Amino acid sequence: MIAIITEGNTPSEAEVFANSDLAKMEKRAKGNKMEFNETKSKAMLISRKRKNENTNIYLNNRRLEVMKEMKYLGIYFDSRLTFDKHIQNTDDNSTKLIHMLGRSAKLQWGLGHKSLKIIYKGALIPLLTYGAPVWDEFVVKQRNLRMLQRIQRMINM
C-alpha cells in the first residue's frame, strides 16, 4: 500500500496537487514497467469541512473512490481525524479477548494467574496501545475515554 499525502489551502487545490503527484507516479511506474491497480486504490480528503463528495482524483484515467474512513497500517483514519472507529475497534477486540480469558480462568480449573498475566502483557497491552502516538490526543473525548476505562475495569475484575 502506498500513501500519497498532499496539502492545499482549499480542497480543490489539494485535489490538483494529488492528481499531479499521481500522474508523476504513473509516469515513473510505466518507465519501470509497472502499473497501479485503480480498482484497489482509494482516496480520502482530510478536512474540517463537512462535505467533500465533489473530489475528483484520478489514477490511470479512472476516478478513485473517495472514502470517509480508511485503514492504514492497522490504524483507522477518518476524514476528520477523530480516530473514533480505531478506538471502537480496539475496544471491541479487547473486550472479546478479555471475555475469552475470563472463560478459561476459573477458580477450580483453567489458566493460572501467571499464565493470565503473560497473556495480558503479550496480547492485551499491545492491542490497546498500538498506534497510540498517532491517536492518543483524541482519548480526551469523553466517549473514547469511557471505552478505554471500561476495558481497564474489565481487566481488573
Distance of CA 137 to the CA centre of its chain: 15
How does pLDDT run across 89-138, given as a tens digit for each residue?
Answer: 999 999 998 888 777 776 566 677 777 778 888 888 898 889 989 888 88
Alpha-carbon distance of 26 to 20, in angstroms, equals 10
Q: According to the model, what pLDDT value does residue 112 have?
A: 72
How does pLDDT run across 26-70, given as a tens digit for each residue?
Answer: 899 889 998 888 888 888 888 777 665 678 888 888 898 888 899
pTM of the model: 0.75
Q: According to the model, what pLDDT value does residue 130 have?
A: 92
Q: According to the model, what pLDDT value does residue 110 have?
A: 64
Count Cβ atoms within 10 A of the Cβ of residue 149 and give its class: 0-12 exposed, 13-18 middle, 19 or more buried. Answer: exposed
Alpha-carbon distance of 62 to 26, in angstroms, equals 12
Question: Which CA distances in Å does 37 have to 41, 81, 84, 103?
Answer: 7, 26, 29, 45
Q: Where are the chain's structural domains?
A: 11-67, 83-156
DSSP states along 21-68: HHHHHHHHHHHTT----TTS-EE----SSS--TT---EETTEEPEEPS
Q: According to the model, what pLDDT value does residue 51 have?
A: 62
Q: According to the model, what pLDDT value does residue 92 have?
A: 94
* C-alpha cell, 149: 476505562
